[in-house]
Structure 1
Amino acid sequence: MFIRNESFYSFRRQYPIITILIAIHLILFVWMNFLPFGGWVLALGIGNNLAVANGEYWRIVTPIFMHYSISHVLFNSFSLVIFGPALEQMLGRIKFLLVYFLTGILANVATFYIGGLTYPPHLGASGAIFGLLGLYVYLVIYRKDLIDHANAQLVMTIIAIGLVMTFVGSNINIFAHLFGLIAGAALGPIILNGVKPYSYYRQRAVHDDGKVAFDPNRWNKKQRNSKLMKKLLWICFIILVVAGILSQLF
């Protein structure tokens, strides 16, 4: 579920929603930091509880797409690449978007009500990503038919690491992480109704004539590359985790 063997072309065709979300992350980050009016975009979209109380309700949504630093945007985008595809395939595009937006919005609503008007400005997709992780928590506990034991252990380990980082790191929106996770798990009974398990066999190749067919060699290629990809996955994840921690410390 979490090992990515697709090329960039096949990934963006199979998971268009995740591709679009990551593109928005990167475009906004570049705009805010390197292009004209970037400061205006940041000031207009950043989460600000006092501004929300004064009627600027869009600030409950816009922080989901905005990030402070390069490590921040890369870490959240990489997490979306790893944990999003299985859910986008199982849920479908509409349900996946619904979960992503609802959990991200609820995370910011919790920040507003619990953090109070003096809570520091905040932004980032972490609340929505923790919402996806919360959905995995529900899968592991109540829908074991949708996730195997090995993947269940892996995702729960990552969630545990994420929660530890939430409390030991600085400049982290604890409310967004916790309530994003809770919101994702709470949506599980509704959103997972009628869902089929993730399957590599649903990945399809398109021939030049436009006809859709299975690639007979795809599974063999995945078997040969799975060990290497797993090592690369963990190396990249560890590098990004370390980069995220260092960015909070210095």
Structure 2
Amino acid sequence: MKNARRWSISFNSPVVLGFAGICLVAWVMGWISGGRSTSLFFSVYRSSLSSPLTYVRMIGYVFGHASLDHLVGNMTLLLIIGPMLEEKYGSINLLIVMLITAAVTGIASFLLFPHVQLLGASGVVSAFILLSSFTSIREHYIPLTFLLVAVLYLGGQVYDGIFVQSNISNFTHILGGVVGAWFGFFLTNPSRRFR
């Protein structure tokens, strides 16, 4: 009788799983501290440029989430799309996409929305959504899936930003999507990728 092959769990996407783990730790810290750690480290808002924490928050806000529903919603999309992108583009490239998305959206929020406290990974998720439409791109061709995703997703965000009153930062979704689209075009050429 043949030995049955045993199934085991694989740590298939270290950057995405690490990001999700940090988000979970940040949420637990916020829950335990009654939101104080979230405001201190994991949300971006207008604060003094002389404070080192201002710069930490400009990136760290992507790890903070306002509620368990907020966390689960972002992590679900991140864990569905992220591993495919990490396999396609590599861990270092995906980490760069995440860091640049966080910095661009964090700095823009800091400068343009001084009375808004921004937190959550939705800008990174939006970058992933647009970047994912490039996974089967061929040089000198624009994927129809990219055009459809750009029109439907980003168009929906623009519409919601104008006509729907909510506490969702549609601007961050749009800007994150633009960063993801830019990286989609940039990383089309494998010679531009880190190995």
- The equivalent residue for 2:41 is 45
Given that residues 66 and 124 in structure 1 are in contact (C-alpha distance below 8 angstroms), is that contact kept between their aligned partners in structure 2?
yes
Q: Which moved more, 1:74-83 or 1:170-179?
A: 170-179
Pair 1:185 & 2:181 matched: yes
Task: Supply the AA of the counterpart residue of 1:163.
Answer: Q
The equivalent of 2:169 in structure 1 is: 173
| Mapped pair 1:132 → 2:155 | no
Give the helix-richer structure, 1 or 2: 1
CA shift, 1:87, in A, is 0.6
Which ranges of structure 1 fall in alignment gaps of 5 or more residues?
Answer: 1-6, 196-250
Q: Call closer, same or farther: CA 1:133–1:30 in 2, change over 3 Å.
A: same
> 5 Å matches for 1:52-71?
53-55=49-51, 56-71=54-69
Cα deviation code 1:14-53 (max 9, x no counterpart): 112211111111121122113xx45431221143432154
Code of the residue aligned with 2:21 in structure 1: it is A
State the percentage of identical aligned residues: 28
TM-score under structure 1 normalisation?
Answer: 0.61
Change (3 A) 1:153 1:134: closer
Cα distance, 1:70–1:175 mapped onto 2, change above 3 Å: same
* Aligned residue in 2 for 1:30: 28
Q: Specify whether residues 179 and 161 from structure 1 end up closer, same or farther in structure 2 by C-alpha distance, changes over 3 A only.
A: closer
Does 22-31 or 77-86 show the bigger shift?
22-31
Residue 153 of structure 2 is aligned to residue 159 of structure 1: yes
Conserved 8 A contact 1:67-1:123:
yes
TM-score by length of 2: 0.76
Q: CA RMSD in A?
A: 3.3
CA contact 2:43–2:117 (8 Å) conserved in 1: yes
How many Å apart are 1:147 and its aligned residue? 11
CA shift at 1:165, angstroms?
Answer: 8.4
- For these two proteins, the number of residue pairs brought into alignment is 180
Deviation at 1:171, TM superposition (A): 0.5
**Cα distance between partner residues in 2 of 1:170 and 1:54:** 32
Instruction: Write the distance in 1 (CA, Å) between the matches of 2:66 and 2:108.
Output: 21
* Structure 2 gap ranges (5+): 1-6
Report if aligned partners of 2:85, 2:94 keep a CA contact under 8 Å in 1.
yes
> Which one is further off, 162-171 or 87-96?
162-171
| Amino acid aligned to 1:64 | V
* Pairing partner for 1:90 from 79, 88, 91: 88
Q: Secondary structure at the match of 2:9?
A: helix
